[in-house]
Structure 1
């Protein structure tokens, strides 16, 4: 598995400290850079990259180390620096090099290392027969074929880090499948789960008996023609893995919202108002932080989000936002410029534990606020039995069940108010806002009856007819 090593330090690793860490392999190693100096590489005398060290990241958002690495790695008090070293998986010495780099950095600056037992300060001796660098994949990948870009990970939570973003970019640009290989104890973050939705991307789980299965569909997999593909029976169907059996219901729940908002493209526009409003209604506070990758490192700021989206326009912008650790909440927001204006697509998940009541009663007031102030086009609210910490295990999980659907005032006007008020379902829509231009909120159920999906389909057909 990937030998990623992370140093968490209370102060920034300065060039001298980084240089001390880079001598982990002795004087014969060479140092190179990538991405305009953002990545430093430890290379063998042959030029083969063994360890790639990313520029230190200043994490100012509480709870990120615990969310992604678990409680076993104590993060420094207050904001801290996250310095990640990614070792090439093909050579055992590379993993020890990464451990020595991180150990030397924390020996100077204090802090902690993940995984804890990898840190040391010894010089690592390298074999003399390491191959030429043209035989190695890019640092973000472990295997690269003409079919797939493969990343091997052994982390508690496989997050959408900048490394993973690079891997996804490489795969997408080359029209390859991104395939993430993990042990069965690993889980995906919501952001990584979203990135794997597109076919033919896969989460490949390696079972202890050296078999493989898809962590999202349960299909048994094997390596064939340069990629992991399903093992199919004589009838052509994929065979399910026994390890994908559903877990016992723990009583934990996730409240899920999919929000679309649209705005006029004006100089005064400040983005992410819908996302912040949803956080305030459902968690009692705005997001704690935002970023373009995980860990989420920047304190929440709508103006900074807007500034980034403006710099990237007309290209779309994708961001992550997280809440306070006391109430797990994670959102992604996709900002795009369209002929109709500026559109924001927000997905928000909020976790509730056993004995905690999901904030269902706040959905209608939230919908009204979004319709009145934040350009609501539509909002779908669902409930599912799933982990409070919002991570995805490689087990079968029950699909979400719709609770309500809201149609924004402009969409109601386009459909026709009379038509929109008379859906072929038992639910009576609730008018939100002014009588001459309301939004319509359709309660669908309490989140316990899967047949509500058919009700939602009937409503959608009616509204798009």
Structure 2
């Protein structure tokens, strides 16, 4: 393979892709990787990260890779490659770009099916919020609100790259995002509380103002802990708190089973379950539905201003039922039309259903 990009981490390139291979147990959003991913995406290519089969990837790097339609590929010790998301065998790393359609179980690599320690219940909260630039804007409010609900404290550290060294500061985040306009900004934050939390905040300028997309992954409880019985309630309280910040567009909370360090592994894991859905005032208005009548029909509650209410709808539990209920609630509203009416970019829309299953990836 011939190198055509001048970057110290680029190990190989080809038509539409740039590959880097990392021999490390932890794959994180370092300065070098962030630069490579950004430059690769700017050239219209897709980044490929190759690692060993026992590596783990931090949430901020996984999201940066997903936002640029990149892939994590695993090189096994003696049996070729596989896609870390679906487990599909690959003849070569670049073959991941031609994957599509439903997963063929016969093509799943055995290393993908090996058991790993996943003993913690997690919440994955994703909320898109709009801010009017005609008013003073202070970013990071959704992250603050969700963190207070889940951990009883704000995040502790933030920055653009890992490791995060600066203390959490919404005013600094707002000012640095403002200086980068009209370019997008993507920030990372963590909480070192007894309930670990990792989050990203994506800020972009749109025709309607500033759009802030917040994604939080938080450790909540062990499967047998008392807190596990209130996972769905915690999900609803998280969205209700997020709905008080700016103009919420849409939000969803998934419940998942993960590892204590919040990092992703290149092995199979149970699909997450939708726990709660928030449709903000712009979505309610654009869809032409009456918020009170809709909540009465689907079993939700109104949130926010009585004049411009949003809708908060409980879905399933960690034990299941959420995807079916979500389809029942959203299908009559045409999910793709909802994203379009809200003006969400495809990359942002993908965040809300990233974990549904490999057949939908």
TM-score, length of structure 1 as denominator length: 0.64
| Paired position in structure 1 for 2:169 | 301
- 1:170 to 1:345, Cα distance in 2 relative to 1, 3 A: same
Question: Does the 8 A contact of 1:406 with 1:442 survive in 2?
Answer: yes
Distance 2:96 2:244 in 1: 48
| Paired position in structure 2 for 1:346 | 214
| Paired position in structure 2 for 1:439 | 310
Taking the TM superposition and a 5 Å limit, the aligned residue runs for 1:34-433 are 138-197=7-66, 201-223=70-92, 227-229=94-96, 239-245=107-113, 247=115, 250-266=118-134, 268-354=136-222, 355-356=224-225, 357-358=227-228, 359-416=231-288, 418=290, 421-422=293-294, 427-433=298-304
- 1:249 to 1:396, Cα distance in 2 relative to 1, 3 A: same
Query: How big is each residue's C-alpha offset from its partner over 1:308-352, in whole Å with a ceiling of 9 and x where there is no partner?
Result: 111111111111111115321111111111111111111110013
| Paired position in structure 1 for 2:354 | none
Distance 2:142 2:69 in 1: 32
Question: Does the 8 A contact of 1:423 with 1:459 survive in 2?
Answer: no
Distance 1:185 1:297 in 2: 27
For structure 2, list consecutive stretches of 5 or more residues without a partner in the other structure: 338-361
Structure that is richer in helix per residue: 2
- 1:262 to 1:154, Cα distance in 2 relative to 1, 3 A: same
Query: How big is each residue's C-alpha offset from its partner over 1:68-122, in whole Å with a ceiling of 9 and x where there is no partner?
Result: xxxxxxxxxxxxxxxxxxxxxxxxxxxxxxxxxxxxxxxxxxxxxxxxxxxxxxx
Q: Residue 437 of structure 1: CA displacement? A: 3.4
- 1:242 to 1:441, Cα distance in 2 relative to 1, 3 A: same
| Paired position in structure 2 for 1:448 | 319
Question: Does the 8 A contact of 1:137 with 1:144 survive in 2?
Answer: no
Question: Does the 8 A contact of 1:152 with 1:180 survive in 2?
Answer: yes
- 1:209 to 1:382, Cα distance in 2 relative to 1, 3 A: same
Distance 1:362 1:315 in 2: 34
Q: Residue 175 of structure 1: CA displacement? A: 2.7
For structure 1, list consecutive stretches of 5 or more residues without a partner in the other structure: 1-133
Distance 1:136 1:168 in 2: 12
Q: Residue 402 of structure 1: CA displacement? A: 0.5
Q: Residue 168 of structure 1: CA displacement? A: 0.6
Distance 1:250 1:309 in 2: 36
